[in-house]
Amino acid sequence: MSLDLARQLAALDATGQAELLRSGEISAEEAVDAAVAACEALNPELNAVIHPAYDEARDAASRRSGPLAGVPMLTKDLICREAGRPFHEGNRFLKELGHVSDWDQVLAERFRAVGMVSIGRSNTPEFGMRPVCEPEAYGPTHNPWDIGRSTGGSSGGSAAAVAAGIVAVAHANDVGGSIRNPAANCGLVGLKPSRGRSDMSPDFGDLNGGLAEELVVTRSVRDTALLLRELCRPAPGQWQGQWPLADPVDAAAAADPGRLRVGWITAHPSVEVDRRIVDVVADVTRLLDGLGHDVSDDAPAPLSEDITAFALPHYAAGFAWIVDQHWPRLLGQPIPDDGIEAGTAMLCAIGRGITAPQLLEARELAQAWTRRLSQWWLDHDVLVTPTLPMVAPELGTRDPVDDAEFLAFLAAFNVSGHPAMSLPLGSVDGVPVGVQLVAAHGREDLLVALGAQLEQARPWSGQRPAVHVENA
């Protein structure tokens, strides 16, 4: 019975599941049992969920209230800690310690306030540093579209579970594309909000110099918009300012975006883009033209510049701080040299060599570049790019030294703070391909409105991967 219900729920997004729950046709406990049944059936093949919390979820289900009351979800095992649950961030040393969080991140509290029920924690690469989800501590997560391929990272476990129909929504975060990358590889919607939208307290305020944002991966634009409204609220004492957000931003999912000025780009100065990816983006630009938008092959000139000189110091110093300062302070002991993976050690070594004046110089250069980049949106509304320059790679084939290739069209907007959303608008050899939409600071409403229009014009909700609860 639970698997039958899981198949029924997998045909719905979170908003649809919430409507079914409010009607009384099913109970919250039944919804959780269905998600648990789906996870037990599929997770052995996917390795998406590493810390099940089934009994806790069943106990909590009937006590939830809010717009998504009783809807099952997953929490990524990175940043969003939950009191009483394992918290290892993909690290073997923390796993061997059996570390359990003593407190909640504010975001965990907000997920509960919106009514969602976390059935467990999802897999992630070590400290979220890699764009593939293959931690030594827990092993790789498999892409449900092709289990020999990567889900992308770092929100790989979350993306695999949503794509496979285990849950409709899963927590994700993005410091260099970690929402958009796995969304693209797994056929999902993934929005990185504007800088400053996310409350990462009490642990963090300005994580990695403001590069990181949190939200979700979903199967629909309206779910993403609803959770943007509910989760991304200003916090007292927040270090970063916030651009005004349309109120309510989720209303944009039902609004006509009007005639938008759309530019697009498929080339990048540091990586060769797969021709098949270029073709997908070109197809989407033709679709946008057919929908009545003013489309041109115009893009911000600063995107043709190599930003490594000021982006790398932010990433490397930030991750060195995580390993050398943040976790040792929480644990009361250092993480030993052999307690981290080789790729992590490589990036941390770079970070330790960056002086404070060099980091401040990188910050100034990044801000100056962002000011120049932002001028483009004074005369345009939305930029279209590939989400990734390549199709989801085979598991175990990527070396950490080549990880920057994944970030080509992603990290720039972590540095600049612009909102960016990946939509599943194409495929290559049966594997999803994402197309990225980027708007001016604070204009998530434009991304939602245009994303919903594209979703209606080219629906993706009926597409199913090989590993899916409907086949269980």
Judged by average pLDDT, the poorest of 15-29, 199-213, 285-299, 454-468 is 199-213
Cα 395 to Cα 380: distance, rounded to the nearest angstrom: 38
Find the catalytic residue in 76, 118, 198, 422.
76
Please say if 178 is a catalytic residue. yes
- The pLDDT value recorded for residue 401 is 87
**Quick check: 61 pLDDT over 80?**
yes
Find the catalytic residue in 101, 122, 154, 158.
154
Q: Which of 29, 35, 33, 31 is nearest to 20 (CA)?
A: 31
Place of tokens 């209303």: 251
Residue type (1 letter), 368: A
- In this structure, the number of other CB atoms found within 10 A of the CB of residue 165 comes to 26
**Quick check: 1 pLDDT over 70?**
no
Query: Which H or E run includes 263?
Result: strand 261-264
**Quick check: 241 pLDDT over 90?**
no
Please say if 101 is a catalytic residue. no
Mean pLDDT calculated for residue range 77-86? 98
Cα 96 to Cα 225: distance, rounded to the nearest angstrom: 38
Peptide bond into 248 cis (omega under 30): yes
pLDDT tens, 372-426?
Answer: 999 999 999 999 999 999 999 999 999 998 999 999 999 999 999 999 999 999 9
Q: Which of 212, 4, 42, 11 is nearest to 119 (CA)?
A: 42
pLDDT tens, 287-335?
Answer: 999 999 999 999 999 999 999 999 999 999 999 999 999 999 999 999 9
Query: 197 or 209: which carries more pLDDT confidence?
Result: 197
The separation between the first and the last C-alpha atoms of the chain, rounded to the nearest angstrom, is: 13
CATH fold, domain 2-471, is Amidase signature (AS) enzymes (3.90.1300)
Q: Which of 452, 437, 420 is nearest to 250 (CA)?
A: 452
pLDDT tens, 443-463?
Answer: 999 999 999 999 999 999 999
- The rounded mean pLDDT for the chain is 97
Torsion of CA 271, 154, 129, 407, to 10 degrees: 20
pTM: 0.98
Find the catalytic residue in 101, 122, 150, 178.
178
pLDDT tens, 111-126?
Answer: 999 999 999 999 999 9
Cα 280 to Cα 435: distance, rounded to the nearest angstrom: 8
